[in-house]
Amino acid sequence: MPLYSRALCWFRRDLRLRDHAALYHALKQSASVHCVFVFDTDILDKLVGKQDRRLEFIWHSLRELQENLLRQGSTLRILVGKARQEIPRLAHELDVQAVFCNHDYEPDAMERDAGVEAALAQSEITFHHYKDQVIFEQSEILTGAGHPYSVFTPYKNAWLKKLDDSYLRAYPTEKYFSTLAPDSAAFLPDLETFGFAPANSKKSLPTGESGAEQLFGNFLKRMAQYREARDYPAENGGSCLSTHLRFGTISIRRLASHAYYAGGTGAQTWLNELIWREFYQMLLHHHPRLAHGQTFKPQFNTIAFPNDKEKYLAWCEARTGFPLIDAAMRQLNQTGYMHNRLRMVTASFLVKDLHIDWRWGERYFAQQLLDFDLASNNGGWQWAASTGCDAQPWFRIFNPITQSEKFDAQGKFIRCHVPELSHCPDKWIHAPWLMPTVEQQRCGVVIGQNYPNPVVDHALARIQTLALYKDANRHQITY
């Protein structure tokens, strides 16, 4: 006999029907399960601007999810309002005995869920929540002394040692679809309904479960070459699944299982990237101060960055005069995506060439990235700024010119995103300001006119960076 006659499954960062932990448990434990998603105005009201790529991705993914539920004779109820109010209200309206959802680990989300659970408890409605977006969460991977790891490689080794089939097994939700509540009402408000407009990105990403499957199927054909191809932004070397992982249109268990059992250096390297994602999630759980602008290494918490606003704007607007940096920033601004190596290079450039506080860059990426994830974004920025755990050593500084020469040798990526340099010879495309005037005129690239002069001298900036960090390192403090 089912434990509950009626239940509600609340979708959030898990916009799929297959291999869905909360939905599986709701269907197994209940005679009838309703499904809901809330466009949470507590989140929407904080968004900058009225065009948001993430919101558009969610909208299209919800449309597919709703269509998939309609095929099962059910539907996805879609609400607009404060989730901490809408979920208890709907639970009362439907007279359910339990609400099911998956864990969301960000601080604001955890506070929201605690409020929802308390409100439901007043009406004796049970609140169930499950691990779904990671293989290992919070304190599941600890040192032998019971402490959280602060270095990636030992964490990875412990992660792999603990892994077995039980952690990778899919939840067979499709076996219990008959438990979905009969419902044919399908309402999906337009973005304009709550004050937003389509983002009109230059390059769109396939959305929903079908989009995730399309991308994953394509990547499986290339996974063996991932280790060699992933660092070259002009090549199709990555999986392009980060956004789908962020919004849960594909299961982490499905991805990790393929990577773990495929074998080979390509699959192993990709699995390492999936483990990095969980490493950053674990760090945020054990060090919540990271979500509030604090550095992991306290001695670097108050580095005296000059924070020249004009240089910051030049970085944001892709007019630094360094072609690889500008190409990467244009890719971000136009598509909401940036190649992983270029995230490291552009972050290093902002902090260690332009001497801008890493928190400024973290905020900008949070606004622009389609796959924005608080833990990964913070972890990546603190790695590049040398302020985080297991970070790039502060005395190692990316040279934007040599990075360009090594990873975009023929300038294919640069020419794609900075077309004014399309006729620039390979010899000069990485540092076009060094090009003789005659050559500039010949190829139609006059530095200072149709492409900017570099905003900084890398060699001098490096010396200043070393002085900033050396001074901060003298004043070590502990929390």
In a domain, 370, yes or no: yes
Supply the pLDDT for residue 393: 85
Q: What is the pLDDT along the chain (479 residues), one digit of tens a residue?
A: 689 999 999 999 999 999 999 999 999 999 999 999 999 999 999 888 778 899 999 999 999 999 999 999 999 999 999 999 999 999 999 999 999 999 999 999 999 999 999 999 999 999 999 999 999 999 999 999 999 999 999 999 999 999 999 999 999 999 999 999 998 777 898 888 888 887 765 567 999 999 999 999 999 999 999 999 999 999 999 999 999 999 999 999 999 999 999 989 999 999 999 999 999 999 999 999 999 999 999 889 889 999 999 999 999 999 999 999 999 999 999 999 999 999 999 999 999 999 999 999 999 999 999 999 999 999 999 999 999 987 778 888 999 999 999 999 999 999 999 999 999 999 999 999 999 999 999 999 999 999 999 999 999 999 999 999 988 877 554 44
pTM for this structure? 0.95
Supply the pLDDT for residue 186: 75
Supply the pLDDT for residue 2: 84
For residue 75, what are its two tokens? 């539907």
In a domain, 204, yes or no: no
Q: Which domain holds residue 382?
A: 298-471
Rounded Cα gap, residues 333 and 348, in angstroms: 18
Q: Pick the closest to residue 426 from 450, 447, 443, 446 (CA basis).
A: 443
In a domain, 179, yes or no: no
Task: Return the SS3 of 147.
Answer: coil
Residue 95 half-sphere exposure toward CB, CA atoms < 13 A: 1
Rounded Cα gap, residues 62 and 299, in angstroms: 45
In a domain, 177, yes or no: no
CATH code for the domain in which residue 12 is found:
3.40.50.620
**Contact (Cβ atoms closer than 8 angstroms) between residue 347 and residue 370:** no
Structurally, the chain folds into a number of domains equal to 3
Q: Pick the closest to residue 363 from 328, 312, 319, 327 (CA basis).
A: 312
Supply the pLDDT for residue 479: 42
Task: Return the SS3 of 76.
Answer: strand
In a domain, 161, yes or no: yes
In a shared domain, residues 218 and 310: no
Q: What is the DSSP string of 111-127?
A: HHHHHHHHHHHHTT-EE
Rounded Cα gap, residues 276 and 269, in angstroms: 11
In a domain, 195, yes or no: no
**Contact (Cβ atoms closer than 8 angstroms) between residue 162 and residue 168:** no
CATH code for the domain in which residue 273 is found:
1.25.40.80
In a shared domain, residues 73 and 13: yes
In a shared domain, residues 442 and 320: yes
Q: Rounded to whole angstroms, what are the CA distances from 478 to 29, 299, 301? A: 48, 8, 11
Cβ neighbours, 10 Å, residue 313: 11
Cβ neighbours, 10 Å, residue 381: 25
Q: For residue 179, count CB atoms less than 10 angstroms from its CB and return exposed for 0-12, middle for 13-18, buried for 19 or more.
A: buried
